[in-house]
Amino acid sequence: MSAAAPAAALPRPPAAGLRATQAGASRRGMLRLLLSLAAALLCLPGSLTAHAAESGRTPLPAIEIANPGQCVEPKDVIRRDHMKFLRHQRDLTMHEGIRTKKYSLNECVSCHASKKTGSVLGEGGFCQNCHDYAAVRPDCWDCHQPRVQPAAKGRADAATADLLQAMQRGRGGAETKP
């Protein structure tokens, strides 16, 4: 015990000194960080206006809307968050069978497909145009149909109702006899 006590006491002063320097350094570092942040904030409006002025240098995507009208969300919202809406909708549809049209990808296509090509992809295609500009490759179209189809298949129609009734008649006779 008596031998261990001075040994343990020895490293204490340097450690305390180190702590003091660290604290000083971090305080200075924090100050520097705050200053640079403030500088960055001050520069931000300037840089934004500079980009806007330079927009002529970069070819902006030419957004052509085949069926002009009101989108399901305001323009700034849908531009920023369309992927979130689509992702939310895809889970609802896939797992719960909710098939509302508002954020349905097929509904996007029906409004936004080019009148010339019938697709949202390709030269001047609504989706491809912007995503090329933003250097984003959406993988929606690996599986989903990017072209407008004349009539969505698989809807319930009179033929289905007839079939159900025929099924009932054909198999029901033998079953319901007392």
Partner 1 sequence: MSEPIEPTRRAGDEAQAETGGNRAAPLHSRRDFIAATAAAVAGLGLAPGIRLVEVAAAKPDDEPASAKVRWGMLIDTTRCQTGCDACVSACNKENHLGETRNPRTDAQWIRKIDLTEEQTGQSLSLPMLCQHCDNAPCVDVCPTGASFKRADGIVLVDRHICIGCRYCMMACPYKARSFVHEPHEDQNPLVPRGQGTVESCTLCVHRLDRGGTPACVEACAGEGHHAMLFGDLNDPQSAIARRLREVKSTEVRADLKLGTAIRYEGL
Which positions lie near partner 1, rule CB under 8 A? 90-92, 94-101, 106, 109, 142-145, 149, 152-157, 159-161, 163-172, 174-176, 178
Beta bridge partners of 147: 119
Backbone φ and ψ for 146, nearest 5 degrees, come out as: -85, -5
For the CB of residue 154, give the shortest distance to partner 1 in the complex, in Å.
Answer: 4
Give least dist CB 86 to partner 1, A. Answer: 11
Query: Which of residues 71 and 92 has its CB atom nearest to partner 1 in the complex?
Result: 92
Q: What is the 3-state secondary structure (H, E, C) of 84-103?
A: HHHHHHHHHHHHHCCCCCCC
Give 148's Cβ-side CA count (13 Å radius).
19
DSSP assignment of 14-67 equals: HHHHHHHHHHHHHHHHHHHHHHHHHHHHHHHHHHHHHHHHGGGTS-------SS
Q: In terms of CB distance, is 46 or 150 closer to partner 1?
A: 150
Nearest residue (CB) to partner 1, 76 versus 175: 175
Residue with smaller CB distance to partner 1, 59 or 173? 173
User: Which H helix or E strand runs over 5?
Assistant: helix 4-9
Rg, Å, the chain Cα set? 32
CB of 72 vs partner 1, minimal distance in Å: 15
Beta bridge partners of 119: 147
CB of 46: closest distance to partner 1 in angstroms?
42
Closer CB to partner 1, residue 14 or residue 154? 154
In the complex, minimum distance from the CB of residue 144 to partner 1, in angstroms, rounded to a whole number: 5
